Structure 1
């Protein structure tokens, strides 16, 4: 544990945000979605923000990195390009 208590999650997918916020991901087929929901249930302050696809450079980068490994979750501790 690194001591993070305030987490902000950005996504262009409003449906995904609603699924996680309403704790509907329990039966989701994607482990990553269930993992994010589990994080939200921890003693953290979690905020969700929907962003435009054009503004989502991090997701574009992750997609490029994971193209051949789509079933893996990639966590960047620091913003890309920092």
Structure 2
């Protein structure tokens, strides 16, 4: 039953980069949001976008509502930010 993907949202910025914001339910009252690098060469793994380190950090939530709030916040950072070396 777990883990279960709750929402995945891909974001592509031309040919520069492609990232996905993914939120999954890991267990009862345990949700996690991670930003993944979908670029073919995965050149942004470990880089920072907003407060997130791509594929190295996660935000946790205890409820689905809080998890969706975190997903939207991460999505905003990905849509408006630019990956930078950590």
Question: TM-score if structure 1 supplies the norm length?
Answer: 0.27
Greater share of strand: 2
Greater share of helix: 1
State which structure, 1 or 2, has the greater radius of gyration over its C-alpha atoms. Answer: 1
Question: TM-score if structure 2 supplies the norm length?
Answer: 0.26
Higher relative contact order (CA 8 A, sep 6+): 1
